[in-house]
Amino acid sequence: MIFTDTPTGSTQNKLDVTIRRAQQNLLRLQHPEGYWCGELFVDSTLCSDYVLFMHWADEIDPVIEEKCVAHIRRRQLEDGGWNIYEGGPSDVNATVKAYFALKLAGHAPTQPWMQEARACILRLGGIPKMNTYAKLYLALLGQFPWQYLPTVPVEIMLMPRWFFFDVYEVSSWSRAMLMPLAILNHYKPTKHLPCDQQLHELYPIGSEESDLGLGWQKPTLSWPNFFLICDRLIKVLHSLPWKPWKRVALARAEAWMTKRMGEGSDGLAAIFPAMLNSLITLRTLRYSREHPLYVKAKQDFAGLFVDDPQDFRIQPCLSPVWDTAISLVAMLESEIDPQDPRIKQAVAWLASKEVRTPGDWSVKNHHVPPSGWAFEFNNVYYPDTDDTMMVLAALARAGVREKTAPKEMNEMFDRALLWLLSFQCKDGGWAAFDKDVMQGWLEDVPFADHNAILDPTCSDLTGRVLELLGYIRYDRESIIVRRALKFLRETQEDDGSWYGRWGVNYIYGTWQVLRGLRAIGEDMRQQWIVRARDWLESCQNEDGGWGETCASYDDPTLKGKGPSTASQTAWALMGLIAAADPTEPAALDRKSIRLGVEYLLGTQTADGSWIEPEVTGTGFPRVFYLRYDMYRNNFPLMALATFRKQRAGGMPGSSSAAPRG
């Protein structure tokens, strides 16, 4: 039974008690300034990369190095390797980086853990099997030949907007990584290591002296092979003594980078890879350690450190806007008073973080006034649609659109909504940071093997837009909504699910689409929607929860399979609630919903949180994942609040539902 007396004999039902505990837990986690910011847990590669940087730059902090080494050692797997997500297999990039960091820190190759790591690396194919970006860090320390790295030509800075390609045709995160790398590719700043720190033993026998460049692919006439030819031609041109425009291109790349590292940004793109690359580039360009920009860059980078005495960690970025928006939605859905001072403080904090700077996004979408929200504390050049959607959902629930709200809040909401809607792409969907950055041929350029060169439109983001529009009673018959619905129909998988770009994985995508469809007023009895509901139900575990691992990005047959987690159970539960037939009085009594609710009720801890060691957040599919610590706190509350609200309301629609516009 869902409703039971608590152990203290209270007459309140267990659902109410669980929700109240979850609310109290979130309020305890709220910062005095009004925001929430949970830790982002990632794999060992960040600590490994920082050790490599310290040795390259001759800026070794023995205390930090020792803490990084302990972090790395703690995460070694039984087979000797390191993975990129909890429960995942050993990854060659992560394992080589970890081995190299340990060796630089003084761990002898004869130590048992080093021998195990080396054996694992060779089983995985050794250094030749690493991706381009990982090999670049080896090249900086003389352990991979620059000649075999794909060229990132700094001349791309000179490409005009009318040309078929320029830097704004790649994703924002790739752009922020590539600009420093283009400069590094020109100077090739190499630190030469003593023999006892080199990595000859990580090359399979005979491979170190062979051609380590990217090989030709079949068929012969293909984009990958075309770009390999282009890469070789560029290398030849770069070897010539006469290099027209090179100095101009380098100056533009430097100016581009340093501008985005200055005021209003907590580092280049406020994300680890770009921030680390920019530190390397500043030193390469002979910025002194005392230069104000280098000092700021180091301070920004140190802001990612979590100096836990038990386990030093480095975060990939900080997530205050995202965590605050989700937590605020969860709190307001659970019917906390919008006039509560703590809620008003969170609303005010979010309002203060609106971005009013025309950033990179404005190059391809310049017909709209600047607005939106970024993920981090300060990242004015890179607001994103996903954070903006969630912030607007929170602000709408907090009443900022009501006539009694201050005029400036009304204006901010309308301005941000206009900004968000302007990002609808040609196919009807929304991407994260830019508009129409979807030239598929770019995925075959040699330096695109991080699987994130583009910023594709996503079903999860598009579903979230529809959820927001439904809540604010936007015109359902508008061309914007009709194009979005068409996009979702076209991107549905044969089994009824949707791919999740920004969360793991099909459970995340399917939940968000169903919630959006219900909010915008779609008839949830349509067969294509019922198929999505049935897919979610087919994935439910015996314990009543849902789970899915990052392995589903590599193997779609694993979609919806994994140990139950609090966040993924919450997502699936909200998807099923959204898909419930509003004409059926007992719609919420479906066994799947009842068991999902009972799973969340039964797994809450005494402090009002849930335990979740699994990774359910996605950075770059198949390359980089992260565990949002706040997901185990706010999404279960949101799901249980949605259930309670719908049950009390007799299923008029989803928690964010509105009449058809």
The CA distances from residue 406 to 246, 336, 409, 622, in Å, are 53, 21, 5, 45
Give the Cα separation of 453 and 443 in Å (integer): 6
The secondary structure of 445-482 as a DSSP string is STT-TTS-SSB--BHHHHHHHHHHHHHTT--TTSHHHH
DSSP secondary structure letter of residue 308: -
Q: Which residues contact 615 (CB under 8 A, 6 or more apart)?
A: 41, 85, 86, 504, 549, 550, 625, 626, 627
Among 504, 453, 520, CA closest to 174: 453
R_g (Cα) of the chain, nearest Å: 25
Q: Report the sign of the C-alpha dihedral through residues 276, 278, 282, 284, in that order.
A: positive
- Residues 36, 325 contacting (CB under 8 angstroms): no
In the annotation, is 386 catalytic? yes
Q: In sequence order, what are the residues at sequence separation of 6 or more whose Cβ sits closer than 8 angstroms to the Cβ of residue 277? A: 177, 180, 181, 184, 268
Two tokens, residue 328: 């605020």
CA distances to 72, 73, 114, 247, 391 from 77, rounded to whole Å, are 10, 9, 12, 47, 39
Asked if 391 contacts 321 with a C-beta cutoff of 8 angstroms, the reply is yes
Q: What are phi and psi of 142, to 5 degrees?
A: 75, 20
Nearest to 600 by CA among 565, 548, 576, 562: 565
CA distance 47 to 80: 18
Dist CA 336 CA 26 (whole Å)? 12
Which amino acid is located at 532 in the chain? A
Task: For residue 253, give the amino acid letter.
Answer: A
Asked if residue 382 lies in contact with residue 172, where contact means CB atoms within 8 angstroms, the answer is: yes
Options 49, 231, 323, 386, the catalytic residue: 386
Residue 325 carries which side chain, given as an amino acid letter? Answer: A
Q: Are 659 and 590 in contact (CB under 8 A)?
A: no
Neighbours of 292 (CB within 10 A): 10
DSSP H or E run through 388: helix 385-397
A 10 A CB-CB count for 218 gives: 8
| Location of structure tokens 């959204």 | 578
Structure tokens at 197: 């720190």
- What is the number of other CB atoms lying within 10 angstroms of the CB of residue 65? 19
Q: Cite the active site residues.
A: 386
